[in-house]
C-alpha cells in the first residue's frame, strides 16, 4: 500500500517531442504528489508538485495530470529538450509526512 | 551559498570500518532527512529529524545512527560497514515536516 509504481523505466524522445511518465499508487491517504528531477552526480530537485484536489498543474513546459479515482498521476514534458535528459522520480507523501518515491525514469532527449 | 551541503562527496572504505557523513543546511529549515539511493537508483528515506527530534526512523540496521547537534546539521554515523551499505546517501531539509524538501549533492559510499 505504501508503494508508488512508476513507468516506463527509461524513455527516449526526440527533441521537440512530448515525454510522458506515469505513476500509480494505492494508498488513498497520500496527500501530496511531487516530481523530482535528478541529473547524474546531483541530488534530486523538486520540479513540480500537485495536491489531490486538483486535476492538472502546469509550470512552463511541465504539466502534472492527476486522476484521483484511478489513483494515477503523470508528468508531461512538452517540447522536450536535450537539457531535460535526466532521471525523473514521482513521489507521494503519506500521513506521517514521509515521501515514498517511485523507481525512477531515465529520460534521454535526442537532438 | 550552497543550500544543503554534504561531506565528503566520495567515501571509499573497507568492510568493518566506522565512518561518518556530515550534512549542513543554511536555509533555516527545521526538518532534516537522510535518504539512501541504491545502485538501481531507488530512493528511500532512512531518518528524519524535526527541531533535533527524531521523527522518522525506518527499518534501518542499528549500525546507522543519526545525530543532530542543532537544527542546521544532521550527521550520519555508520558502524561496522558492510558491502551492502554501498550506495549514495542524500541529506535533505525542509521547513516543517510538510515543506518542500531540498536535497544535498549526495555522498557516494563504496565499501570494499
SS (H, E, C) chain B: CCCEEEECCEEEECCCCCEEEEEEECCCCCEEEEEEECCCCCEEEEEEEECCEEEEECCCCCCEEEEEEECCEEEEEECCCCHHHCEEEEEEEECCCCCCCEECCCEEEEEC
- Read off the pLDDT of each residue in A61-81 and give the average, rounded to a whole number: 97
A98, B41: Cβ pair inside 8 Å? no
- Give the model's confidence band at A105: pLDDT under 50 very low, under 70 low, under 90 confident, else very high: very high
A43, B41: Cβ pair inside 8 Å? no
- Read off the pLDDT of each residue in A32-47 and give the average, rounded to a whole number: 96
User: Which residues of chain A lie closer than 8 angstroms to B90, CB-CB?
Assistant: 43-44
List the single range of B1-5, B41-45, B107-111 with lowest mean pLDDT: B1-5
pLDDT at B1: 63
Closest CB to A43 among B45, B48, B90: B90
Residue of A nearest to B42 (CA): A103
Is residue B19 within 8 Å of residue B13, measured between CB atoms?
A: yes
Is residue A90 within 8 Å of residue A4, measured between CB atoms?
A: yes
Residue B47 has pLDDT above 80, yes or no: yes
User: Which residues of chain B lie closer than 8 angstroms to A42, CB-CB?
Assistant: 105-106
Is the bond into A8 cis (omega within 30 degrees of 0)?
yes
Average pLDDT, chain A: 95
CB pairs under 8 A between A and B: 46
DSSP structural state of residue A71: T
Amino acid at each position: 500500500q505504501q508503494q508508488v509504481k512508476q513507468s516506463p523505466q527509461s524513455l527516449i524522445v526526440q527533441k521537440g517531442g512530448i515525454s510522458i511518465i506515469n505513476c500509480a499508487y494505492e494508498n488513498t491517504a497520500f496527500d501530496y504528489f511531487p516530481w523530482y528531477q535528478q541529473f547524474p552526480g546531483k541530488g534530486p530537485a523538486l520540479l513540480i508538485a500537485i495536491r489531490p484536489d486538483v486535476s492538472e498543474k502546469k509550470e512552463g513546459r511541465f504539466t502534472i495530470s492527476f486522476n484521483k479515482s484511478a489513483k494515477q498521476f503523470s508528468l508531461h514534458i512538452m517540447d522536450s529538450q536535450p537539457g531535460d535528459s535526466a532521471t525523473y522520480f514521482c513521489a507521494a507523501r503519506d500521513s506521517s509526512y514521509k515521501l515514498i518515491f517511485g523507481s525512477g525514469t531515465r529520460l534521454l532527449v535526442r537532438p | 551559498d550552497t543550500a544543503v551541503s554534504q561531506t565528503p562527496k566520495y567515501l571509499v572504505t573497507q568492510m568493518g570500518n566506522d565512518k561518518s557523513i556530515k550534512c549542513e543546511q543554511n536555509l533555516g529549515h527545521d526538518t532534516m532527512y537522510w535518504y539512501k539511493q541504491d545502485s538501481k537508483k531507488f530512493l528511500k528515506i532512512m531518518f528524519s529529524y524535526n527541531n533535533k527530534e527524531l521523527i522518522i526512523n525506518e527499518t534501518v540496521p542499528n549500525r546507522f545512527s543519526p545525530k543532530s547537534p542543532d537544527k542546521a546539521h544532521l550527521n550520519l554515523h555508520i558502524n561496522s560497514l558492510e558491502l551492502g551499505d554501498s550506495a549514495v546517501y542524500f541529506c535533505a531539509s525542509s521547513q516543517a515536516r510538510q515543506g518542500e524538501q531540498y536535497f544535498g549533492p549526495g555522498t557516494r559510499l563504496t565499501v570494499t
